[in-house]
């Protein structure tokens, strides 16, 4: 007995959480190494039953076409649950023909208890199927739910093809907050757009994706590690949301196809990629994850991290959450454990307080879930630790600042740093002019544009920080007599979107003084650590990129334009909302103080 009960699935009267993957059986038939493997029972049993069971899978979707019956027999024998998807990516044919096919599908397969969900469509909708055909088929089989009718699959290809997190519909998925409040089961049966073949060569769909997250010329180890990291991060997120089914894509498919599969070397040998070990940890029935998004902290800062402990088993689980700080010493430093008791099918959130090491550097934090004497799951975070004192002896020459929102000025005052408020009479005494966010649109800037032009041409530096902020309609914004920037919202937001990773082109440039490239892979606060927004910002003159982001690293996150003897630097790296240390916000996505943003601002003002 398998049915929908509110936002959950129930198996034989008890809630069940489905964990697994996808098998694109017909795509695998096109694999040039498959030979007779799909009909070789020892191989089928290993790939379909043994390996998945070792890695805590209890569920598969047959994607875009069915396997043959012996696979379903094996699933019946071993208690593996299946979502059976018809080979429709948009329905074709008349309603009468479709209903005839679907009735035969149910009659041929309705006695397989492993099939718990009928799935008529992939990434598409069809009113005739939903409203006319499926209701009639329920008289033939009233015992199973239908995808597209009783629930809707979600394909959040975030943190890869798309943005890190989505707070609006994206591709074939609803917004994450919407999913968390869903009245129907949330089935996340495609995500993890990180596809490499058995020799770790990127598939055709990986074009431009790798550079976006790893920069140019990444090492093989970085590619392999990223796949496992991404799987653990997203599975942890979806388990915290208590999604009813979680299935990254794709366990078995055509190695040379657009999505490859999860095995290294010859597929006949079935050597799982390291990704599978990451999924084994992330899918642990008694498991845990951290609801913590910040990566930049100050020395000796105390952080309180919500740790979600989930129990997908049918019995009460007792354990301990053990924090372990690793700052380079062997084995790490174990902190006081926190006891936890989780009833079957439920989740408990425990708050673990950790004091960060006092000295700048890198710190790894693990949360280990221990049951009895056995460690059953682990969650990890890497923190970058910074000094809390940002004061400098003095500027060589104080900058002139136009800051309509006041955040930059307040930060400089808090650090005891001198600056001039915007006044053309101060330009002659300044080495740098700084215009923050919508300052370009203020009357005081327009009134002083000629003086700005003279200042730059004689060798001065003008810094424009996040000029796209609050721009609604496309516009050309004049900066000097020769230079303007065109600002418009991006038109390709479903392939890219706002970015959380930025890569300096020259790490030795003074703009990055005291900072490392990895510090610009995530900021504190903002949805997913957003750094660069969904805008196109293009100068009217030739520019030189100082930092890049986006698919194929084609977006200039920071660029420089030479004018006369001086220069204009446009920075799109968002420091907004990240300079006020006094803000005490509980929302995990609210912007908060970020020492990297503070140091980056000081570097901008020191150019």
In the numeric block, the tokens 């998945």 are attached to 52
Q: What letters, b where the CB count within 10 A reaches 16 and e where it falls short, cover 237-251?
A: bbbbbbbbbbbbbbb
Calculate the CA 473 to chain-centre distance.
Answer: 28
Is 480's pLDDT higher than 80? yes
Average pLDDT in the 425-449 region? Answer: 94
Buried b vs exposed e over 79-108: b needs ≥16 C-beta within 10 Å?
ebbbbbbbebeebeeeeeebbebbeebbee
pLDDT of residue 327: 86
Q: Residue 584 has what pLDDT?
A: 76
Give tens-digit pLDDT for 375-415: 999 999 999 999 988 876 567 789 999 999 999 999 999 99
Map tokens 């196809």 to a residue.
257
192-195: long-range contacts, CB 8 A cutoff, minimum separation 24: 192/157, 192/160, 192/227, 192/230, 192/231, 192/234, 192/248, 192/249, 193/157, 193/160, 193/161, 193/162, 193/249, 194/160, 194/226, 194/227, 194/230, 195/250, 195/258, 195/259, 195/260
3-state secondary structure of 215: coil
pLDDT of residue 213: 97
Count the neighbouring beta carbons within 10 Å of the beta carbon of residue 539: 17
Do 18 and 242 meet the contact criterion of CB atoms below 8 Å apart? no
What value, to the nearest 5°, has the Cα angle with vertex 150 and ends 147 and 152? 50
User: Residue 332 in 3-state DSSP?
Assistant: coil
Average pLDDT, the chain: 95
* Residue count of the chain: 607
What pLDDT digit, counting tens, does each position of 177-235 carry?
Answer: 999 999 999 999 999 999 999 999 999 999 999 999 999 999 999 999 999 999 999 99
Backbone angles phi, psi at 81, to 5 degrees: -95, 145
To the nearest 10°, the Cα dihedral for 280, 282, 283, 284?
80
Strands in 160-239 per DSSP E:
186-188
Using 50, 70 and 90 to split pLDDT, how confident is the model at 330?
low
Of residues 467, 591, 575, the one with CA closest to residue 515 = 575
Using CA atoms, how far apart are residues 50 and 24, in angstroms rounded to an integer?
18
Asked whether the beta carbons of 502 and 519 are under 8 A apart, the reply is no
What percentage of the chain carries pLDDT values higher than 90? Answer: 93
CA-CA-CA-CA torsion sign (346, 349, 350, 355): positive
Assess contact for 478 and 484: CB atoms under 8 A: yes
At CA 40, angle to CA 119 and CA 246, rounded to 5?
35
Q: What is the pLDDT of residue 494?
A: 76
Residue 323: its H or E element = strand 317-326
- 415-435 burial, b at 16+ Cβ within 10 Å, e below that, comes to eebebbebebebbeebbbbbb
pLDDT of residue 434: 98
- Identify the pLDDT of residue 304: 94
For residue 394, what pLDDT is reported? 61
Residue range 515-560, pLDDT digits in tens: 999 999 999 999 999 999 999 999 999 999 999 999 999 999 999 9
């Amino acid at each position: 007995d398998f049915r929908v009960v509110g936002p959950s699935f129930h198996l034989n009267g008890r809630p069940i959480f489905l964990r697994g993957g996808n098998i694109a059986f017909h795509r695998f038939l096109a694999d040039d190494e498959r030979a007779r493997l799909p009909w070789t029972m020892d191989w089928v049993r290993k790939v379909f039953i043994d390996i998945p069971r070792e890695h805590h899978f209890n569920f598969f979707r047959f994607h875009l076409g069915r396997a043959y019956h012996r696979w379903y027999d094996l699933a019946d024998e071993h208690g593996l649950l299946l979502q059976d998807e018809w080979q429709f990516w948009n329905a074709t044919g008349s309603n009468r023909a479709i209903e005839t096919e679907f009735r035969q599908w149910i009659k041929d397969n309705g006695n397989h208890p492993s099939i718990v969900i009928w799935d008529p469509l992939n990434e598409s909708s069809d009113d005739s199927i939903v409203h006319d055909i499926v209701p009639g088929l329920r008289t033939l089989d009233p015992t199973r739910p239908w995808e597209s009718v009783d629930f809707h699959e979600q394909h959040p290809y975030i943190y890869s093809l798309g943005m890190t997190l989505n707070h609006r519909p994206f591709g074939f998925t609803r917004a994450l907050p919407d999913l968390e409040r869903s009245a129907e089961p949330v089935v996340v049966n495609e995500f993890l757009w990180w596809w490499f073949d058995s020799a770790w060569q990127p598939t055709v769909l990986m074009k431009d994706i790798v550079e976006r997250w790893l920069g140019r010329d990444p090492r093989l180890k970085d590619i392999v590690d990223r796949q496992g990291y991404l799987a653990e991060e997203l599975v942890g997120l979806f388990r915290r949301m208590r999604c009813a089914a979680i299935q990254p894509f794709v366990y078995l498919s055509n190695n040379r196809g657009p999505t490859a599969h999860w095995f290294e070397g010859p597929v006949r040998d079935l050597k799982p990629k390291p990704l599978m070990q990451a999924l084994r940890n992330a899918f642990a029935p008694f498991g845990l994850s951290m609801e913590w998004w910040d990566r930049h902290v100050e020395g000796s800062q105390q952080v309180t991290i919500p740790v979600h402990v989930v129990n997908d088993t049918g019995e009460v689980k007792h354990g301990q959450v053990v924090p372990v700080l690793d700052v380079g010493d062997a084995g790490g430093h174990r902190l006081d454990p926190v006891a936890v008791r989780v009833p079957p099918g439920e989740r408990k959130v425990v708050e673990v307080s950790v004091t960060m090491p006092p000295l700048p550097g890198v710190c790894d934090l693990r949360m280990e879930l221990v049951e009895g004497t056995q460690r059953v799951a682990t969650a990890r975070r890497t923190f970058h630790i910074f000094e809390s004192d940002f004061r400098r002896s003095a500027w060589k020459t104080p900058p002139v600042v136009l800051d309509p929102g006041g955040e930059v000025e307040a930060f400089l005052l808090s650090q005891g740093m001198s600056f001039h408020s915007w006044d053309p009479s101060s330009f002659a005494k300044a080495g740098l002019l700084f215009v923050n966010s919508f300052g370009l649109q203020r009357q005081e800037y327009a009134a002083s544009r000629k003086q700005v032009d003279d200042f730059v041409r004689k060798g001065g530096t003008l810094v424009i920080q996040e000029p796209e902020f609050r721009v609604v309609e496309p516009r050309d914004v004049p900066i000097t007599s020769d230079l303007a920037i065109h600002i418009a919202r991006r038109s390709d937001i479903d392939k890219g979107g706002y970015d959380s990773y930025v890569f300096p082109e020259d790490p030795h440039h003074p703009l990055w003084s005291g900072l490392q490239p990895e510090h610009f892979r995530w900021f504190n606060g903002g949805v997913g650590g957003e750094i660069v927004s969904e805008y196109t910002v293009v100068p009217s003159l030739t520019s030189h990129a100082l930092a890049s982001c986006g698919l194929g690293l084609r977006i200039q996150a920071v660029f420089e334009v030479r004018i006369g003897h001086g220069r204009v630097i446009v920075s799109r790296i968002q420091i907004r909302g990240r300079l006020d240390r006094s803000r005490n916000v509980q929302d995990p996505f609210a912007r908060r103080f970020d020492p990297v943003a503070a140091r980056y601002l000081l570097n901008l003002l020191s150019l």
